[in-house]
Amino acid sequence: MTSGWRAFSLFLTLWVSALACQRQGEVLAELSEKRAAVDRDLARAQGTWTVATVGDGFRVGDGLRTSANASARLSLSDGSRMSLEEKTLVRFLASPPGKKSRVLDVQAGEVALDVGSQVLELETWAGPALLEPGSRVRLRKNEDGTRFAVEIGAARLVRDGRRLEPGDALEIGIGAAVIATESVQPKASEVVALGTASDAGTPSTAPSVSAATAADAEVEQARGPDRVDLWAAPGDSLIIHDAHPPLAIGFTVTRCAGLSLLELAKKGRTTVGTGRVSGSVGPGVHRYRLRCQGDQTSFADGTLTVLADAGNRRLSTVPPSNRIDTDGRRYTILYQSVLPKLSVRWPNPPTGNAFTLVVASSGKEPRRFSTSTASYAPPNGVLGEGTHQLWFELGPERSRPTTVVIQFDNAAPTASIAAPAEGGFAPGASVSVLGTALPGWTVNVGNQQLPQDAQQRFSGQVIAPADGAAIAIRFSHPLRGVHYYLRRSSR
């Protein structure tokens, strides 16, 4: 497989206690049914395939594949079930660093997953999706990308709170773009609908006045971390890339005569400090507010988005390609570095050879493109950021108008950090900072701006904090906001 193909492998992360406590050699799934030729291999001999037998157990590194006209069914250790269609290959992977979970890589073909009695987390390039108990999702991987569709139940995208109902789908194209097709917009009440959702990315509201009053009564027991990885200004909203979250974030406060209170909405947790106040945040989106003791009104609030990202992925410079069907849906395309190339198709078109694709973009006159077939790839620049309506015409007939929204993915990587390595330097040491940023981003460490060459490569020598705090590499863009990449010392 190419590196691009690997980058878009679809991971199933099972957030269940049964899997969380398993060790590397324990059975993660068992083959319960099979039809026709079904093979398996072992972690110690990947690529050496033998006939799979009902009752076979699968451990980390093991794989299962089905041939043409074959199928298989697996029972997972949390009670979920997985069905493999023909020409499908799946492999069990080790848990990501810092996660107590098991991961399944769907490398080719089609899989149906029937969720058991506990919430499951589906990890995709678009971020995690939480699957309700009893849901059924279908996963398809081919040369065009990966499709994740909800057939029964519901799923919620952790990154933005969007809820996927039966008939909704998430598509990942080959390239650095994500397509989310939506038929239902999430209601405010649905954002936290999964009651057993993990801490990662669960939106919630600010703490209530009663919670604040209780915090005031227990301030002596609520000191935050002494060692802070990143200092922020009150009211900052930041995106933080950290190889090993959680991280400790701190705020310097000058307006409170006594204690300052930091309230993190997600955990309902309040910490206090005098002049400075800190708290611990894990992966996900965290709303916070700052107030003075005895005053129920906050003087600053913001959002902290923490991504479990080591910051060493190669930045994509190739426009991703994705296919849009004029099927009446609303497509949201999140691009990460280069505007995507789109191929538009009229599914089940009438017979003819004189089609017209109409593109109606916000604030512009509709544009028309002639084509001899019911598919067309608009030239670069036709579909930029914004909202577009697309439809085909053939004489008096026309396809269903389809909405395409193209947005920059603000949580996407903005840089690739070559040095320093996480844990690769001592507190107080002189450290080389090297990497590559996307065009338009300015790079700083503290008050020191790091120069960039014509290829956006940056470099500089900085002094690591003597107290063991992380080196915080700051990337800022006049339109895209601020991202921080953290590198910790060997403290």
> Is 9's pLDDT higher than 60?
no
Average pLDDT, the chain: 77
Q: Tell me, what DSSP letter sits at residue 5?
A: H
What pLDDT is recorded for position 62? 87
By C-alpha distance, which of 353, 339, 422 is closest to 382?
A: 339
Specify burial of residue 297 (Cβ count, 10 A radius: 0-12, 13-18, 19+): exposed
- Lowest-pLDDT range of 129-138, 247-256, 374-383, 469-478: 129-138
Instruction: Please give the structure tokens belonging to residue 163.
Output: 């809820």
pLDDT band (50, 70, 90) for residue 340: confident
Q: What is the mean pLDDT of residues 92-105?
A: 54
Q: What is the mean pLDDT of residues 303-325?
A: 78
Question: Using one digit for the tens of pLDDT, what is the confidence trace for 23-36?
Answer: 446 788 899 999 99
Report d(CA 374, CA 346) in Å as an integer. 5
What pLDDT is recorded for position 145? 59
- Lowest-pLDDT range of 148-152, 160-164, 342-346: 160-164
pLDDT band (50, 70, 90) for residue 170: low
> Is 344's pLDDT higher than 60?
yes
> Is 95's pLDDT higher than 60?
no
pTM for the whole thing?
0.51
Angle at 98 between CA 173 and CA 416, to 5 degrees: 50
Which domains are delineated in the chain?
3-190 (2.60.120.1440), 209-308 (2.60.40), 321-408 (2.60.40), 415-487 (2.60.40)
Question: Using one digit for the tens of pLDDT, what is the confidence trace for 253-273?
Answer: 999 988 999 998 766 688 999
Cα separations in angstroms, 148 against 47, 172, 260, 327, 465: 27, 8, 45, 18, 44
* Side-by-side strand order, sheet with 430-437: 415-419, 430-437, 457-463
> Is 372's pLDDT higher than 50?
yes
> Is 332's pLDDT higher than 70?
yes
pLDDT band (50, 70, 90) for residue 451: very high
